Amino acid sequence: MAKEKKEKVVENMETEVVAEDTRKVVLMQGNEAVARGALAAGLDFYAGYPITPSTEIAEILSEELPKKGGKFIQMEDEIASICAIIGASLAGAKAMTATSGPGFSLMQEGIGFAKATETPCVVVDVQRGGVSTGLPTKPSQGDIMQSKWGSHGDNPAIVLYPHTVKECYELAIRAINLSEKYRTCVTLLLDEVLGHMREAVKLPDISNVRIVNRLRPTVPPEWYKHYDENQKYISPVASYGEGYRFHVTGLAHDALGFPTNKASEVAAQMKRLKRKITHNIRDLVQIESYMMEDATVAIFAVGICARSAKAAIKAAREYGIKVGLLRPITIWPFPDDAVKKMLRDVDTIIVPELNEGQLINELHRLTKDKADGKIIPIQRSDGEMITPTHIFRVIKEAH
């Protein structure tokens, strides 16, 4: 019975890779897959600062970008790195940086600037363990909330979370595509173990990769508005040096980009930032349902914990336990509808995560029955993984 359920059901999964080239099987690390994916998506510019466990991304791009006419620069710190990619993006580049926790903290002001000024860029955060300097070579999922709320003010986030090396490749492409499409900073969250793990990956032919480029203005410069209020939340964007001579500021701004204190103009900006996410949930949110059709127990997990969960599910199915996995691929915006359905459909939800309860709070937000033991946490923040055995044990207890 378990066997019939084995193939994974991917809902709302518009993959960036149209067709795989089965001949090209390579052994690849998660970090390398991110770098290769970004290149496939048309990355022009990378600025970064060395930090474990993300450094391989910079190393690979320093080698590859000059070969294709792209730009690589190692900046003096992570603050400079995020600022440099925003500058490059304003000059027309598809731009990216990669870092880990401490660097991600330093980048938050810049991330807010990219979102406020609606400048496309991608930040990869290969999460390391612990608070502060923490555990540079150990995994954690401690930046889930930071990736949404890290920058001050209301700044709606798009955050993607792969769980295999192949998905690192695909989601790196998708991150760049979404940043271009929605004119915003998109974050790609990796687990340390995924960044450093090697798996066999089938790389697609480049012609089979779906590439999205930002909309370009078709109006003459004197008609151009950098944030056109007549467009539906996402307007075409010019680059510096093309004759449009627009102004960009992190201050609250009007449609032309000039600073403003006028409540109606500020409200329009805030509304646009929010609605370009909330009005496109269907396009943005991707989840994977794994053996969920008949499940009475569900596991809700991301990244590496979802892999442990899949192994535990296979084992539990052997014992006849109807257990499945719901895995958000896009964690922000949060897949509210899919989670609400899960909360209705199953008796028990197990939430394994490598932090002290970040995902589980989102589930609590969506349900009133917090106290009845329906949602069971498995939390670990000591730098070690949550094993399939551990999850299996909890499944058996919950069943």
Q: Which residues bind another protein (CB under 8 A)?
A: 44-45, 47, 66-71, 73, 75-77, 79-81, 83-93, 95, 109-110, 113, 240-251, 256, 258-259
Question: What are the backbone angles phi and psi of residue 379, rounded to the nearest 5°?
Answer: -125, 140
Distance CA 121, CA 184 (A): 6
**Which residue's CB is nearer to another protein, number 246 or number 300?**
246
Q: Is 378 helix (H, G, I), strand (E, B) or coil?
A: strand
Distance CA 81, CA 69 (A): 19
| CB 137, min distance to another protein, A | 27
**Which residue's CB is nearer to another protein, number 131 or number 251?**
251
**Which residue's CB is nearer to another protein, number 86 or number 351?**
86
- Prior bond of 335 cis (ω within 30°): no
Distance CA 318, CA 79 (A): 50
The end-to-end CA distance of the chain, in Å, is 18
91: number of Cβ within 10 Å: 14
| CB 111, min distance to another protein, A | 11
**Which residue's CB is nearer to another protein, number 112 or number 129?**
112
| CB 232, min distance to another protein, A | 24
| CB 138, min distance to another protein, A | 29
CA angle 380, 386, 388 (to 5 degrees): 155
**Which residue's CB is nearer to another protein, number 245 or number 365?**
245
**Which residue's CB is nearer to another protein, number 45 or number 182?**
45
| CB 70, min distance to another protein, A | 7
**Which residue's CB is nearer to another protein, number 79 or number 266?**
79
| CB 244, min distance to another protein, A | 8
Quote the DSSP letter at residue 333. Answer: S
Q: Is 291 helix (H, G, I), strand (E, B) or coil?
A: coil
Q: Is 219 helix (H, G, I), strand (E, B) or coil?
A: coil
Sign for the pseudo-dihedral over CA of 171, 174, 180, 181: negative
Angstrom distances, CA of residue 176 to CA of 27, 46, 180, 188, 364: 23, 12, 6, 10, 31
Distance CA 217, CA 237 (A): 6
| CB 32, min distance to another protein, A | 20
